[in-house]
Chains A and B, each alone.
Chain A
Amino acid sequence: MTKDSGVMVVAGWEDDFSLTGLTTEMLGLARRLSDELGGPVSAVTFGKNLQSLSQPLYWQGADEVILVEGCNLEPYQADAWLPDLVKVIQDYTPKVVLIEHTVIGMDLAPRLAFRLDTSVAMGCERVAVKGEKILFTRACYGGKVLEEISFANNPSVATVKAKTQTSLMPDYCRTGNLMVVSSSVTDAQIRTRILDRNRVVSEGIRIEHAKVVVAGGGGLGGSEGFEILTELASVLGAALGASRVACDLGWCPPHYQIGLSGKTVAPNLYIAIGISGAGQHMAGCTNAKFIVAINSDADSPIFHCSDFGVVGDYEQLVPALAKEIQKLIT
C-alpha cells in the first residue's frame, strides 16, 4: 500500500447497529477525497460482534473495513480504543483520518493526534483538496469567523461536523476487504472506569433526524414557554430544541441544546423563538433549509440569518401559528 494515501474513517453506529448519519456523511466525504488523492477509503470501528457493519460500510463508500473486536470497547473509553487505533493507522498509513465531531470524537481525536505526533482540525465543515494541500475549513470565534487550515504532517486528523457533508446513495453491489482484529487492550490498561450511565431517551423524534425543529431561547422568559412551543411542535411533528441560554437557565433539559457546544441540526424548517441568534447558536442550525425567527426585538441579530421573521410577542403568535398551520396541513 502506498504510504500516506487514502482516507480512513472512524465509523460510528447506533444501538441497532446501523451506521450513524454522520458516519455515512464522512464516508461520502472520504470517497470524494480519495478519488482526488488516490488510495482507498478505509473504515475502522470498535466494539464486539460487528460483522453486520461491514456491508453498510462498503455500500456507503468504504473499500477496506477494519473491525476491532473486544469486550471492553463499549461504551467508548479513550484508553480502550487508542492503542489499536494507532496501530491500525500505522499499518494503513492513510493521508487523512476522519472522526465524528461528537462527544466521542472530540475526546478521541486530540489524543490520537498527540499519539501520532501529528495535527488535528476540530469541527470541520469542509474538507477539500487544493493542489498538494488538503484544506480544512472550520468555525472559530463562536461561529463568527471561518478558518481554512492545512497541515504539513501526515496523517491529518480531522473531526467532521454533522450535517455538513453529503452521503453517497448506498450502492448495494459494492464490496471490499474485511479485516477483523482482536483488541490488544487489557482491562488493566484502561485507567478510567464508567461507574454509571444515564441516557435520556427523548420522547418522539430525535432532534438530529427531525425534518422540523422548534427551538426556544432566553426570550421565552421561563420554562412555561416550552409548553407553548410543544403545542406548535406537535402540530408540525417537530422536535424541540433550545439555545444554550435556555438550557443553562434550566428551562429545558440540557440535551435540547443546539449550537457549537450542543447539537448540530439541518432540518427542512427551523423555527427559532426568542433566540437572539448568537454565532455559537447559529453554528448548530445554519444548514437548515428555512429558518423562521420569532422575536420581540426587531434589532435582534437572528433576523440577519433567517429567511422569514415576525417581530412580536411569541405567546400570542405561536399558538396562532400552530392553529394556522394545522388548517393548512389537514
Chain B
Amino acid sequence: MHIIVCIKQILNPDIATTNLRVDEKAKRVVPLPGISHVISPFDAQAVEAAMRIKDARIDDTKVTVMTMGLQSARAVLKVGLAMGADEGVLLADADFEDTDSKATAQILVAAIRKLEDADIILTGRQAADGDVGVVGLGIAELLCRPAITFAKAISSTNGMVQVVRVLENGFETIEAPLPVVVTVAHEIGKPRFSTLRETMRAAKKPVQTWTSSELRLNPQEVSSAGAHRRLERLYIPVKMTKCEVFDGGTPENTAAKLAQRLKEVGAI
C-alpha cells in the first residue's frame, strides 16, 4: 500500500496577534522577526493518521510526505520523515508562489501522478494559515476519486477505507473503495513525538525535489489558474472592546458586582 500525505509549512499558528503584522499595501502577513515556521498542525495529524494505518497493516506500506513551497519547506518534510514516513517530495518552483487552492491542487495532482500509484491520499482538514480547506477535495476531484472529509479514525481493509467522520453533533462511519482521498480532523488526536533515533534516521531518507518542468506543468496554466481570485484587502480586525474588570476583594463580592452589572446591561 502507498499513502501520500500532503503537508504544508505555515507561520506558527500559536503566535499571538500582537506578533503578527499585515502589510496592507502588499496584502501580506508579515511576522515579527523570530517567529517560527511549522508544519500545519492538521497536516501533522494527517501524517499521524498515515502512520496509524501503516502500523495496523501487515503488508508493506509506504508513506510519502509531499509539500509545495520554498526550499525551506524541506523542514516540514523532515518532521514527517521523523514521524516515520519513508520518503519525501518537495515541489519547489518560483511559479508555485502565490498559487490559489485550485493551482495548488493541480500541482499536487501532477506530482501524485508522477509517483507510483497512491492508494490513500491524506491532507489536513485545512491549512491553519489560510483556513480554507479546499485543496484536499480539489485533489480528489481532479483525480476523479472519492473523498471523505474530517476523519477522526481511518482504517483500511479489503481494498476499502473505513473512516469515522466528525459531524456537528456526532460521528458517521463511511466506507469507500481505494484509491481515495481523506482529510483529517484534529479529533484524530495528538501526532506522535519523534524519537532521537527516528530523527537521525530521517536525515538519511530520500527526498526528491521537483520543479514545474519536471512535473510537465505548463507555467501559464499554473499561473492563470490563480488569476480568477483577487485578494482585495488583508487586514487585522480592530477590536474596540474595552474590558470592565471586577474585583470585590472576595469571590462573593466580585460575583455580586458582576451579576449586578450583567443585570443592568440586560445580559441576564
Contact = CB atoms under 8 A, between A and B. Distances in A.
Interface of A: 75, 78-79, 102-103, 106-107, 110-111, 113-115, 118-120, 122-123, 133, 135, 138-153, 191-202, 212, 236, 244, 247-248, 254-255, 260-261, 263, 268-269, 278-280, 289-293, 301, 303-313, 316-317, 320-321, 323-325, 327-329
A46 B125 CA distance: 25
B140 interface: yes
Given A141-B129, A147-B234, A304 B239 contact: yes
B221 to A, nearest CB: 13
A146 B234 contact: yes
Interface in B1-57: 11, 13-14, 16-17, 20, 22, 29
Interface in B217-259: 227-237, 239, 241, 243-247, 251-252, 254-256, 258-259
B29 A145 contact: yes
B262 to A, nearest CB: 7
Interface of B: 11, 13-14, 16-17, 20, 22, 29, 100-102, 105, 125-126, 128-134, 137-138, 140-142, 146-150, 162, 166-177, 185-187, 189-190, 227-237, 239, 241, 243-247, 251-252, 254-256, 258-263, 265-268
The B interface is mostly helix, strand or loop, or mixed, namely mixed
B267 A290 contact: yes
A304 B231 CA distance: 28
B255 A328 contact: no
B149 A106 contact: yes
A113 B134 CA distance: 9
Q: Which 8 A/B pairs are nearest by Cβ-Cβ distance?
A: A320-B255, A114-B141, A324-B259, A199-B170, A191-B146, A110-B137, A316-B251, A148-B233
A281 to B, nearest CB: 12
B194 to A, nearest CB: 20
Contacts of A144: 17, 20, 236
A146 B20 CA distance: 13
Contacts of B162: 195
Contacts of A199: 167, 169-170
Contact of B262 (A141, A261, A292): A292
Contacts of B17: 144, 279, 301
Given A303-B245, A310-B245, A310-B246, A290 B262 contact: yes
Given A141-B129, A191-B146, A202 B141 contact: no
B268 A212 contact: yes
Contacts of A325: 259, 262, 268
A11 to B, nearest CB: 17
